[in-house]
Amino acid sequence: MSPTVIPWTYLLIAGLLEVVWALALKSSHGFSRLTPSLVFGVSAIASMYFLALAMKSLPIGTAYAVWTGIGAVGTVILGIIWLGEPATAWRLGSVGLILAGIIGLKLA
């Protein structure tokens, strides 16, 4: 694996873990349920850890924007699939714009 791929891999892992902690936070019902609360805590710490590893090599603005973008897109998609949230044209178009931004930052 090339040295430039490793930080992006860390960033992808961090973004996916952001999706996990966001969904666990919703499931915790204000931290009133133990298991989702624990999943939230572990995944949030792990997400920050991998984000920190990625930021060793990537610019902070790029890393942070891509991390939040992965989290936002993943959370919206899983909210639609698992939680029955609406899949309106505006929501899906906005997700497309976020994806375009993530791709643009990766290519820049």
Give residue-wise pLDDT tens across range 9-33: 999 999 999 999 999 999 999 999 9
State pLDDT tens for residues 27-52.
999 999 999 999 999 999 999 999 99
| Reported pTM | 0.90
Q: Evaluate if residue 59 carries a pLDDT over 80.
A: yes
Q: Judge whether 36 and 92 are in contact, CB under 8 Å.
A: no
Q: Evaluate if residue 106 carries a pLDDT over 90.
A: no
Angle of helix 34-55 versus helix 5-27 axis, rounded to 10: 160
| DSSP 8-state secondary structure symbol assigned to residue 29 | T
